[in-house]
Amino acid sequence: MTRPFPEKRIAIIGAGVGGLTAAIYLRLAGFEVSIYEALPRPGGRANLIEQEGFRFDTGPSLLNYPWVFEGLFAAAGRRLIDYVTLLPIDPSITFLWPDGTSFTPSSDLRRLRDECERLEPGVTPGLTAFLSDAEIKYNFSFRKLVRQNVDNPLAWLCALSLGEMAKSAVWRSLDSELKRFFGSRHIREAFGSYAMYLGGSPQNLPGLFSILSYAELAYGLWLPRGGIYGLIEGIARLAGELGVNIITGRRVRRVIVRDGRVRGLEFADGTTEDWPSVISNVDLPTTRRELLPPGYAQRPNNLLRRHPVMTPGVVTFYWGLRGRLEGLQHHTIFLPDHFDAAFDDLFKQHRIPEDLPFYLSMPSATDPTLSPPGCTTVFVLIPTPISSDAGPADWATTTTFLKTRILERLRRHNVVIAPGRLIVERILTPEDWQEMFGLYQGSAFGAAHTLFQLGPFRDRNLDRDIHGLYYTGAGTTPGTGLPIVVLSGQMTAERICQHAR
């Protein structure tokens, strides 16, 4: 369908990573672009808490696929390194089990092999086969599936050759895919653990997602100097230099729609502005429920379902500690004794897992400027069910309980945080995430990545019913995570540029 594009002027609601990226690409294509952001600073979920000399990233802490960010700056004729310094984190993550078993993968092939052999003697041929299989999948996925604005499922899948289709493992689960290469339960659980953040278990997410652990090994994990927010500052600076108008502290109340076309925006203070086209970077289901005229939320913006299945919520702790925290490295994932039961609790029983999995990051171990001298910045993330599944919660009691469980578990690994060491403590519950950033049902990562919520099955980046309305961010294609959301911004901009021709 071709759409008339009256003027090269566009407003973007929300200065999350998707909104900032779309703005940069559209500015480069000659558009006049204004971003309206409700909060005092850009970044969205990738925001900043500063207190008592500690600098905490609110959300994302694991940065992968640096080539995506390099591509964003290169599109503007700039170099990422002139804006952001990326510090390597290797070994990347330590996975710990309650019985003391640990697994620390590395991008260094020899160290990776030794570590896998320690857990599963004789695994080297399986590891080698896993890496080369996932590399092939990764390459054709990014070239042919992830980065394409394709609305037709047949055309999307037919982009793959028969061999690639078979290799893609979309018809197999991630669990059975990992079992093809690894006998060790610990290696499989470590490589399957990201499923939780994609909104499923290794049993029900497609095997294609073996590319996640591969990509982490192949491209490494990085910390921008100044924390993840250092990257946001670099991207926002680039947008500003290009002439994107970023207006913070300006909440949009609704998108004005008449005769099936976008006409402008109404702001929280009651004022209005005319705009021929709008991109919403606000979480997609929230946009459709709260910013569009009644009725539109009931119409699906994808091929299959009205309401997307969402990824879990999170409780996040931000601790500023006196002194160093010995015994842990930058990223640690604490896995439970009963891995499958934790997924079952979260996704089927809709409760915080009894046998608590959580993630802890200590970014000041890599960049000491994130805390006062001699102190430590700690971030802890616990997955929770989404609010519609869990029902009302007493978050004050729940977070106290969770904190006790986390400290107990840390003690089991000989990591002791005495109460007197806590200089700063901030906590965000799923309710806070929902309220602060407009996250539908408090879901931290947006729509889940089950097979029928990928590619053309996912909510589209253009509205099916309202001319001139587009979407970008974690809720639309290709999906969630900082680099993937950068691709989302680029793809939305490409869609608009096609329409503007």
Ligand X SMILES: Cc1cc2nc3c(=O)[nH]c(=O)nc-3n(C[C@H](O)[C@H](O)[C@H](O)COP(=O)(O)OP(=O)(O)OC[C@H]3O[C@@H](n4cnc5c(N)ncnc54)[C@H](O)[C@@H]3O)c2cc1C
Q: Report whether 468 contacts 7 (CB < 8 A).
A: no
Instruction: Tell which one of 170, 278, 485, 493 touches ligand X (CB under 6 A).
Output: 485
Nearer to ligand X by Cβ, of 409 and 449: the residue is: 449
- How far is 297 from 289, CA to CA, in rounded Å? 5
Instruction: Tell which one of 10, 38, 86, 360 touches ligand X (CB under 6 A).
Output: 38
Instruction: Tell which one of 5, 18, 144, 275 touches ligand X (CB under 6 A).
Output: 18
- How far is 166 from 401, CA to CA, in rounded Å? 46
Q: Confirm or reject binding of residue 494 to ligand X (CB under 6 A).
A: no
SS3 264: strand
Q: Shortest gap between Cβ of 433 and ligand X (angstroms)? A: 6
Nearer to ligand X by Cβ, of 181 and 433: the residue is: 433
SS3 480: coil
Interaxial angle between packed helices 66-75 and 228-242, expressed in degrees from 0 to 180 and rounded to the nearest 10: 10
Q: Shortest gap between Cβ of 46 and ligand X (angstroms)? A: 5
Nearer to ligand X by Cβ, of 73 and 182: the residue is: 73
List the strands of the sheet with 469-471, edge to edge.
245-247, 32-36, 9-13, 278-280, 469-471
Residue of 489, 491, 482, 492 lying closest to 65 (CA atoms) = 482
Instruction: Tell which one of 12, 33, 44, 278 touches ligand X (CB under 6 A).
Output: 44
The secondary structure of 423-466 as a DSSP string is EEEEEE-HHHHHHHH--GGG-SS-B---GGGSGGGSPPSB-SSS
Instruction: Tell which one of 45, 188, 330, 403 touches ligand X (CB under 6 A).
Output: 45
Number of residues that bind ligand X (CB under 6 A): 36
Tokens found for residue 66: 């640096």
Interaxial angle between packed helices 17-28 and 228-242, expressed in degrees from 0 to 180 and rounded to the nearest 10: 30
The interface region with ligand X, picked from 70-78, 88-96, 106-114, 476-484 by CB under 6 A, is 476-484
Tokens found for residue 235: 């991207």
Q: Shortest gap between Cβ of 16 and ligand X (angstroms)? A: 2
Q: Confirm or reject binding of residue 347 to ligand X (CB under 6 A).
A: no
The interface region with ligand X, picked from 90-98, 105-113, 279-287, 396-404 by CB under 6 A, is 279-287
Q: Confirm or reject binding of residue 234 to ligand X (CB under 6 A).
A: no
Q: Confirm or reject binding of residue 214 to ligand X (CB under 6 A).
A: no
Q: Shortest gap between Cβ of 353 and ligand X (angstroms)? A: 17
The answer for residues whose C-beta is within 8 angstroms of residue 416's C-beta and 6 or more apart is 410
- How far is 176 from 179, CA to CA, in rounded Å? 5
With helix as H, strand as E and coil as C, how does 268-285 read?
CCCCEEECCCEEECCCHH
User: Maximum Cα–Cα distance for the chain, whole Å?
Assistant: 68
The interface region with ligand X, picked from 2-10, 80-88, 275-283, 363-371 by CB under 6 A, is 275-283
Interaction mask 306-325, ligand X, x per CB under 6 A:
--------x-x---------
Identify whether 478 is preceded by a cis peptide bond (ω within 30 of 0): yes
Tokens found for residue 123: 């695994």
Nearer to ligand X by Cβ, of 59 and 164: the residue is: 59
Interaction mask 377-406, ligand X, x per CB under 6 A:
----x-------------------------
- Asked whether the CA dihedral 433, 438, 443, 449 is positive or negative, the reply is negative
Instruction: Tell which one of 251, 299, 306, 411 touches ligand X (CB under 6 A).
Output: 251
Binding to ligand X in span 46-85, by CB under 6 A: 46, 59-62
Q: Report whether 406 contacts 339 (CB < 8 A).
A: no
Q: Shortest gap between Cβ of 1 and ligand X (angstroms)? A: 25
The interface region with ligand X, picked from 140-148, 277-285, 343-351, 461-469 by CB under 6 A, is 277-285
Q: Shortest gap between Cβ of 349 and ligand X (angstroms)? A: 22
Name the residue with tokens 């806070």.
Answer: 432
Tokens found for residue 201: 């278990």
Nearer to ligand X by Cβ, of 337 and 435: the residue is: 435
Residue of 425, 214, 222 lying closest to 317 (CA atoms) = 425
The interface region with ligand X, picked from 42-50, 80-88, 215-223, 462-470 by CB under 6 A, is 42-50
Q: Confirm or reject binding of residue 437 to ligand X (CB under 6 A).
A: yes
- How far is 32 from 171, CA to CA, in rounded Å? 44
Instruction: Tell which one of 72, 362, 382, 474 touches ligand X (CB under 6 A).
Output: 474
Q: Shortest gap between Cβ of 225 and ligand X (angstroms)? A: 17
- How far is 459 from 447, CA to CA, in rounded Å? 9
Q: Report whether 8 contacts 31 (CB < 8 A).
A: yes
Nearer to ligand X by Cβ, of 184 and 277: the residue is: 277
Binding to ligand X in span 89-108, by CB under 6 A: none
Q: Confirm or reject binding of residue 282 to ligand X (CB under 6 A).
A: yes
Q: Confirm or reject binding of residue 252 to ligand X (CB under 6 A).
A: yes
- How far is 277 from 22, CA to CA, in rounded Å? 13
Q: Confirm or reject binding of residue 233 to ligand X (CB under 6 A).
A: no
Instruction: Give the residues lining the site for ligand X (CB under 6 A).
Output: 13-19, 36-39, 44-46, 59-62, 251-252, 281-283, 314, 316, 381, 437-438, 444-445, 473-474, 480-482, 485
